[in-house]
Amino acid sequence: MSKRISNRDFVRLSLELHLFFLRIMKEHSFFLAAGFLPKDEGLALRANNFNEQFNDLLHQAVTMANCHVSRTVLQSGEVVTDKTLRAEQKTSELSGVDFDTNLTRRELQLKAGDPDPRLVCEVFDFNNRVIAKTRDLIQFKTFVLNNMLQCRLFTYNFPLLIDHIRREAFFYIDHLQQLQRRQPMNITRQIFDEKAFWDRIMKEHAQFIAHLLDPTEVELIESAEDFADLFKELQKQVQHLEQKGICRSGRIQRIVNEEIDATRSIRDFKAEATDLLLACQVKSLIIPLLGDHVLREANHFLRILKFPLSLK
């Protein structure tokens, strides 16, 4: 069943999307900057500039969102977690890069409330500004990826990781454009699309973790590889559903329940891994903020699966 988006839902859904994805985009920019060699200082400066721009946008989104977003989202762990502040502080210590921890504290203090429909015009304009800036970031990511694939550029980021973060930026824009058009939302279709996207993301997170752990961390590597296999199998459901149709509610609910179990498991694995990173109890090339970053993405997907009506 489809439903046209009301002014209140437009404001709420837009701001909730920004609270999640703007932080993701700014951290992508940091990860890019951290991967360049000294000879590519200019590219690192461009990436840092994106970091600052998305940080500013997130400040604006937090100001608008206070008392205008749902408690479900604020309590989901997708905006910030109980580890985000410590992860930023430790990553700053390790990298020498300053993080806007005041912004993180502001996010931790956000309050839920009923969205004000009078914010529609302000949010609509803000969405357009974010779409434009995210397109700029996509162009930069594409430039980096293409030059890596042509052996004109070396970074310490996997080419798959650059492709991975490009897809997330495109996904963000797609969601914003649907909201801007007030496109009616079919919840079943929406859940299916989210599953198709996030299954691949979760699989790749597990692959990245396995390849960034020290070879001596055998148990953690095996766990990560098991999660990669699990989400690869869940990905295959997408093709099957496309072929057979997705109209049978009973079948859909069983698939969603399977997905919730798998996503909760990888969420718990990421949370434990991030705690180990913060406690310096695991050998790896994973910086603490990356652990918290992928944890928030699992929390986001889990919230969508558990509370699909919050999409409306």
**pLDDT reported for residue 220:** 98
For the whole model, what pTM was predicted?
0.95
Looking at residue 175, its amino acid is H
**pLDDT reported for residue 1:** 47
The two tokens of residue 69 are 């977003």
Question: What are the tens digits of pLDDT across the range 11-27?
Answer: 999 999 999 999 999 99
What is the total residue count of the chain? 312
Angle, CA of 150, 151 and 153, to the nearest 5°:
110
Angle, helices 41-65/120-149, rounded to nearest 10 degrees = 160
Question: What are the tens digits of pLDDT across the range 185-240?
Answer: 777 778 888 999 999 999 999 999 999 999 999 999 999 999 999 999 999 887 67
**pLDDT reported for residue 247:** 54
**pLDDT reported for residue 236:** 87
The two tokens of residue 67 are 């008392």
H-type alpha helices, the chain: 7-35, 41-65, 71-74, 84-95, 101-108, 120-149, 159-180, 187-212, 218-244, 249-278, 288-306
> CA-to-CA distance for 31 and 44, rounded, in angstroms?
10
The sign one gets for the Cα dihedral 302, 304, 308, 309 is: positive
Query: How many distinct helices (H) and strands (E) make up the chain?
Result: 11, 2
Low-confidence ranges of the chain (pLDDT < 70): 1-3, 239, 242-250, 309-312
Q: In whole angstroms, how large is the CA radius of gyration of the chain? A: 19
